[in-house]
Amino acid sequence: MSILLAHGGGGVRMRRLVEDLFLPAFGDEELRKLDDSAVLGEIVFTTDAYVVKPLFFPGGNIGKLAVCGTVNDIAVMGAEPLYLSLAMIIEEGFSEEELERVSVSIGNTAKECGVRIVAGDTKVVERGKGDGLYIISAGIGQLKVPHRLSLDTIKPGDKVIINGGIGLHGVAVLIARGELGLSSKVESDCAGLWGLIEPLLSLGVRFMRDATRGGVGGVLTEVADGRDWGIKVFENKLPVPMEVKGVCEVLGFEPLYLANEGKVCVVVENGKEEDVLASMRSHPLGKDAVVIGEVVEDYPGKVVVETSFGTHRILEPPMGELLPRIC
Amino acid sequence: MSILLAHGGGGVRMRRLVEDLFLPAFGDEELRKLDDSAVLGEIVFTTDAYVVKPLFFPGGNIGKLAVCGTVNDIAVMGAEPLYLSLAMIIEEGFSEEELERVSVSIGNTAKECGVRIVAGDTKVVERGKGDGLYIISAGIGQLKVPHRLSLDTIKPGDKVIINGGIGLHGVAVLIARGELGLSSKVESDCAGLWGLIEPLLSLGVRFMRDATRGGVGGVLTEVADGRDWGIKVFENKLPVPMEVKGVCEVLGFEPLYLANEGKVCVVVENGKEEDVLASMRSHPLGKDAVVIGEVVEDYPGKVVVETSFGTHRILEPPMGELLPRIC
């Protein structure tokens, strides 16, 4: 057997690789939780490798992504992002000018997100053994909630909220690749979310996850997997921006599977959703926040989409084949 | 200008890239120290990308290297390595069987080193955009010394100690590449050093650094750079294993520039060297520990090698061209 692109797609194949190969070999109890960050006492710790193609796209670049992605993986644990490390794997012949543009963007994004880049490493590989630049970030944050936010606290009746339009990062990167023969004004939503998330921590939030590879559908199917409750998503509530809808209609994509880099799915205690929505909408990154679904007793372990026509369809976990190198 | 392989070699070119491009763009005060790990209150934090070629070599593989390298970068700060993250960038088509061998080695090495692997990420890139497998580790440790070990405490008269034979990793990897047309029984010295280092912390150690890319010569020239003292290295005291000497003679390599993955340079207060040597020699990874040099008032900012004939030559910092992808 050999590794396929789909093994890196954030879907079912990747999960199998992790569960069948990595966890038995070196999986610590904390790694087995498959959370966005490890919780180690009062600190959280996470890592992400960025191999996005192309390196520059409307709304961002690989450097901005590497900072925001790790900031968000920490933030969704209910922790304040503090310190980042960055490792770079550069292909021989890569332009110093592009490296500098990426680096300046890293510096600006780190400042905006309030994190310090304190450690780094640089490696160079021969031409044809890389693709310009790969960046790998790791991060440390400080837990700001008394207990780890856990799936175990979720109950039927809880609401699922998202902070705005979905699929923007996926569509922006796909169009920037130029392979689709489409043009569009879509910009990636790439952004650091700690400022949006921090005020929510005292408002009845049960669980959060940022919807990157695999999209909102990827997150929700993972969340529901193996539980004795399900998640119902209201299709007519889903904030799908017009440009994203257009691309999905032309190409047959499911917007729920498209990648985001500035969107968080929040599961909130029933009755607290208005407070959470109000807080989110007062922040620039949450002004289109909306309830998109709820936790239900029917469909245990599954995500079901209630269509605009009132019919129901089960949402399968993404397989990961669709969009390699989206982040 | 474009990036050269030498920019990743751990020598002068890499240092210029870091100082002229990365630090102005995103360098935090802590990053500017260019230590092996960042010191953040009581914790230390570090990252390293591993692109070694070939992936398997006598004495180790990329997985063992990724664990030991990060463990050692933490240990030399006087900190106990506790938690590791691992990100993998896998080339499409890479064999699952090899991935499993690497993963098992990661698990075993982590257990031996007493560290837990708590976070990870997996990305897959297309054929021809990687080279089988790159692994990027980051690590967190807990400081075990009351003050950061600092170059500023070094004084003339201090002794420089190494824990055993040099150049083994460099030679093992070069021979494993098969490009030299040489064969040899040399094995990489790849090992986690915390067990060796911990007892030294109460014995008058001023400063430590593991001698990886750029070798012992790379470490010592960096240590001496800009100081009002120099370092004298006694060539006839240098522990150069016979097989390493043989390869160096045939190919004209300087053993002081060859990479190690289980060797630490320790600067120790004058008069405390026997205690440190005794402690090191009681550990399996330090049984060949020896004083190889001393801090001197002459040659400020420089490293000078006293040859077996009593002559002196200035050791230049490695340029980084010699050995790409050694770790």
B139 and B159 co-located in one domain: no
Residues B175, B133 within the same domain? no
Q: List Cβ neighbours of B243 (8 Å cut-off, separation of 6 or more).
A: B171, B184, B185, B186
CB contact under 8 A, B124 and A48: no
Please report whether residue B242 resides in a domain.
Answer: yes
Q: What is the mean pLDDT of chain B?
A: 95
Domain count, chain B: 2
CA distance, residue B139 to nearest chain A CA (Å)? 9
In a shared domain, residues A310 and A166: yes
What pLDDT, on the 0 to 100 scale, is given for residue B21?
A: 95
Instruction: Please indicate whether, in this complex, the C-beta atoms of B30 and A2 are within 8 angstroms of each other.
Output: no
3-state secondary structure of A51: coil
A285 in the same domain as A227: yes
Position B322 scores a pLDDT of 64
Reply yes or no on whether the pLDDT at A218 is more than 80: yes
**Does residue A20 lie in a domain region?**
no
Q: Looking at chain A from residue 160 to 199, which residues have their Cβ under 8 Å from any Cβ of chain B?
A: none
Q: Please check whether residue B17 lies inside any domain of the structure.
A: no
pLDDT for A8-56, tens place per residue? Answer: 887 888 889 999 999 999 999 999 998 889 999 999 999 999 999 999 9
Q: Per the CB < 8 Å rule, is A134 touching B89?
A: yes
Residues A107, A172 within the same domain: no
Q: Which residues of A touch B90 (CB under 8 A)?
A: 3, 7-8
- A2, A43, A94 member nearest B95 (Cβ): A2
Residue A171 in domain:
yes
Q: Is residue B276 part of a domain?
A: yes
Which residue is closest to A132 within chain B, CA to CA?
Answer: B129
* Residue A322 pLDDT greater than 70, yes or no: no
Residues 101-160 of A with CB under 8 A from B: 103-104, 106-107, 110, 116-126, 128-131, 134, 136, 138, 140
Distance of CA B296 to the CA centre of its chain: 24
Chain A residues with CB under 8 Å of B32 CB are none
State whether B89 and B160 are in the same domain: no
ipTM over 0.85: yes
> B139 and B207 share a domain?
no
**How is B250-296 classified by DSSP, letter by letter?**
HHT--GGGS--SS-EEEEE-TT-HHHHHHHHHTSGGGTT-EEEEEEE
Express each pLDDT in B111-128 by its tens digit.
999 999 999 999 999 999
Residues A138 and A214 in one domain: no
If asked whether residues A130 and A172 sit together in one domain, one would say no
Tell me how far apart the terminal alpha carbons of chain B are, to the nearest angstrom.
25
Q: Which of B91, B70, B87 is nearest to A88 (CA)?
A: B87
Closest-CA distance, A234 to chain B, in angstroms, reads: 31
| Residue A22 maps to a domain | no
pLDDT of residue B45: 98
Q: Which residue of B1, B3, B89 to mutate against A (max A Cβ within 10 Å)?
A: B3
- Asked whether residue B73 is domain-assigned, the answer is yes
- Which pTM value belongs to this model? 0.96
Give how far A275 is from chain B: nearest CA, Å.
Answer: 33
Question: Given pLDDT bands bounded at 50, 70 and 90, which one contains residue B147?
Answer: confident
A109, A126, A143 - which closes a domain: A143
**Can you give the residue range of the structural domain that contains B67?**
35-143
Q: Which chain A residues contact residue B123 at CB under 8 A?
A: 8, 49-51, 325
Among A116, A143, A170, the domain-final residue is A143
pLDDT tens for each residue of B237-258: 999 999 999 999 998 999 999 9
A166 lies in some domain: yes
For residue B214, is it left (φ>0), alpha (ψ between -120 and 50) or beta?
left
Interface contacts (A, B; CB < 8 Å): 254
Q: How confident is the model at residue B327 (pLDDT cuts 50, 70, 90)?
A: very high
SS3 for A175?
helix
H helices of B146-258, in order, are: 168-177, 194-197, 215-224, 242-251
Query: How large is the average pLDDT for residues A58-71?
Result: 98
β-strand partners of B293: B160, B233
pLDDT digit string, tens, across residues B148-200? 999 999 999 999 999 999 999 999 999 999 877 888 889 999 999 999 999 99
- How sure is the predictor about A321, in pLDDT bands with cuts at 50, 70 and 90? low
Domain end point (choices A85, A119, A143): A143
Give the model confidence (pLDDT) of A175-202 as tens digits.
Answer: 999 877 888 889 999 999 999 999 999 9
- CA-to-CA dists, residue B244 to A49, B11, B183, B263, angstroms: 36, 21, 12, 15
Element (H, E) at B105: helix B96-113
Minimum-distance CB partner of B107 among A3, A25, A40: A25
Q: Name the minimum distance, in Å, from the CA of B41 to any CA of chain A.
A: 12
Any idea what the CATH number is for the domain that residue B268 is in? Answer: 3.90.650.10
Both B85 and B208 in a single domain?
Answer: no
A115-138: pLDDT as tens digits? 999 999 999 999 999 999 999 999
**Helix residue ranges per DSSP H, chain A:** 12-17, 23-26, 29-32, 62-75, 96-113, 168-177, 194-197, 215-224, 242-251, 273-281
Q: Are residues B289 and B160 in the same domain?
A: yes
User: Distance between CA A206 and CA A78 in Å, rounded?
Assistant: 10
| B273 & B166 share domain | yes
